[in-house]
Amino acid sequence: MLPIVIFDTNILISATLSQKSNPYACLQLAKDGLVKSVTCREILDEFKEKLSFKFDYSPNDAQSTTDRVLDYSQLVNITNSLKGICADPDDDMVLECAVVANANYIVTGDKHLLSLINYQNSLILKATDFLASIQELQN
């Protein structure tokens, strides 16, 4: 069974901006079918918003870049009922997505999420540590 992974918005952005980054290598694992990427509309909306407002993507480019995530990710619905777990309330959607997806991993660069270490059976890792963990599983 493939490991189930939630990629946080910052990983999606880093991968989009640099094809020579560890976040890009993480997403490539999903594209190659070596891990199962799961996301939710809320993560995709935040991703699209940041592409538009922080990185000056046109609305069409932001939408098409966001749509490409769905080429290699399963979409799940969350209820936004998980509140107050993380110091940053925006991070609760990532945790809820992981719970709904029964994810093995959350990959993020977010210090609030990383400080949790794990949440309900989801190990929370930086991209570098996730790549090392997957490589260990493959050996």
Phi-psi region of 84 (alpha: psi -120 to 50; beta: other; left: phi over 0): left
* DSSP string across 54-67: TT---HHHHHHHHH
CA separation for the pair 107, 29 (Å, rounded): 12
Query: Quick one: pLDDT at residue 91?
Result: 87
Nearest to 48 by CA among 68, 31, 76, 72: 68
pTM as predicted: 0.94
Task: Yes or no: say if 73 and 40 are a contact pair by the CB < 8 Å rule.
Answer: no
Query: Quick one: pLDDT at residue 83?
Result: 65
| Structural domains in the chain plus CATH codes | 4-43+70-138 (3.40.50)
Residue pLDDT tens, the chain, 139 long: 899 999 999 999 999 999 999 999 999 999 999 999 999 999 999 999 999 999 999 999 999 999 999 999 999 999 877 665 666 667 889 999 999 999 999 999 999 999 999 999 999 999 999 999 998 887 6
